[in-house]
Amino acid sequence: MAKVCWPYFDPEYENFSSRINPPRVSMDNDSCHDCTLIKIDSVNKPGILLEVVQILTDLDFIITKAYISSDGGWFMDVFHVTDQQGKKITDNKIIDFIEKALGPKGRQSTESLKNWAGKRVGVHSIGDHTAIELIGRDRPGLLSEISAVLASLQFNVIAAEVWTHNRRIACVLYVNDATNKSMDDDSKRLSIIEEQLNHILRGCENDEKVARTSFSMGFTFTHMDRRLHQMLFADRDYESAGLTTTNVDCPPSFRPNIKIERIEEKGYSVVSVRCKDRAKLMFDIVCTLTDMEYVVFHASISSEGPYASQEYFIRHVDGCTLDTEGEKERVTKCIEAAIQRRVSELSACIVANGTVYIHGDKFHSDCI
């Protein structure tokens, strides 16, 4: 029998274009008197916009304006950013880090962001941990009960973050065993934890879909905020619009105004968002569009006083625009939910003795 020889495929082929045309990143503090311009030119690839916005957001930058163009094979962005005090980015270490993180060695440099002084960024390995994801109906005292269960089963909670929206709660906890036993092979113990946590999350409800607990061992690479968005999106929290106090108490002038139109000659759907401006707004919207499998080809972002105006020219990954009213309504609801989740966000750090520390921002137990 003749020996069949398959053609060799270089595993680095997908990165070939990036090696020939490496990303170019420049920091400009001269063109504008009140902000720093970050200019990025790169070969286009799926998800690149979310990666860039995620890095800028994790560094606590305020994006006051942005111009995005990624139609065709090239990705060209300009971001107007300031620090949290509204000042330009002048720290040479931060500038050097940004140029590396967004440049040719971005993947390696992004790893160092986990250890960036003062930054608690995304989902990352915290020693030998197990990540527990919880989704269920929110109610008073729920976090205390979850903490008590974990403490009674001798688990240390290293870090946790909780979001609540439309009477639903999504929580990601990092735990390890206080007895120093490995959890990888202790399926019986994990089953007990899952049963007890699901019982707490369900409360008086009998519907199995009301609550869900899942585990992952070792390293988890999904960004924390993105994972919480994904969990609530999968839970379809966007279908319960109008249930939260955030919606009821929010003045009409600050409610998100979302419109979706179609540009026939260009073949785009245009998503226009006008709402109260806040930190991480662009990340939340881009994250939602990406996870709904829409590609952003062009975008324009600006802030005017307390308001933000954002416009995205999108198509679905299959090349189609939003043609039906049902599609438009779903995207509108999902973006509105993504904007409001962080407004009603609850972050918590839970430690193994059953105490729950709540703060307006996420933090780890070593800061207590």
Residue 215: closest CA among 163, 167, 155, 164: 155
User: Which residues, at least 6 apart from 194, have a Cβ–Cβ distance to it below 8 Å?
Assistant: 213, 215
pLDDT at position 7 is 54
Domain spanning 18-108: CATH 3.30.930.10: no
Query: Between the CA atoms of 317, 321, 324 and 327, what dihedral angle is there, to the nearest 10 degrees?
Result: 40
CA atoms within 13 A on the CB side of 93: 5
pLDDT at position 132 is 87
d(CA 349, CA 364): 6
Q: Which residue has the higher pLDDT, 357 or 273?
A: 273
CA atoms within 13 A on the CB side of 368: 18
d(CA 331, CA 19): 36
The two structure tokens encoding residue 300: 């324009």
Q: Which residues of 256-280 are buried (b: 16+ CB within 10 A; e: fewer)?
A: bebebeeeeeeebbbbebbbbbeeb
Q: Please list the residues that pair with 137 across neighbouring strands.
A: 168
The CATH code of domain 130-235 reads: 3.30.70.260
With 90 as the cut, is the pLDDT of residue 300 above it? yes
d(CA 253, CA 256): 8
With 90 as the cut, is the pLDDT of residue 277 above it? yes
The two structure tokens encoding residue 124: 């990352």
pLDDT by residue (tens digit) across 59-99? 999 999 999 998 778 889 999 999 999 999 999 999 999 98
The two structure tokens encoding residue 331: 């995207």
Burial of 3 (0-12, 13-18, 19+ CB in 10 A): exposed
What letter represents residue 172's amino acid? V
- Total-model pTM: 0.80
Radius of gyration of the chain, Cα coordinates, nearest whole angstrom: 22
CA 137 to chain centre: 21
Residues 298-307, mean pLDDT to the nearest whole number = 92
For CATH 3.30.70.260, list the domain ranges present in the chain: 18-108, 130-235, 257-344
- The fold of the 257-344 domain, in CATH, is Alpha-Beta Plaits (3.30.70)
Residue 136: closest CA among 122, 150, 149, 146: 146
The two structure tokens encoding residue 106: 């971005």
Residue 232: closest CA among 144, 171, 143, 282: 171
pLDDT by residue (tens digit) across 139-171? 888 888 988 988 888 888 888 889 999 888 999
pLDDT by residue (tens digit) across 62-72? 999 999 998 77
What letter represents residue 285's amino acid? I
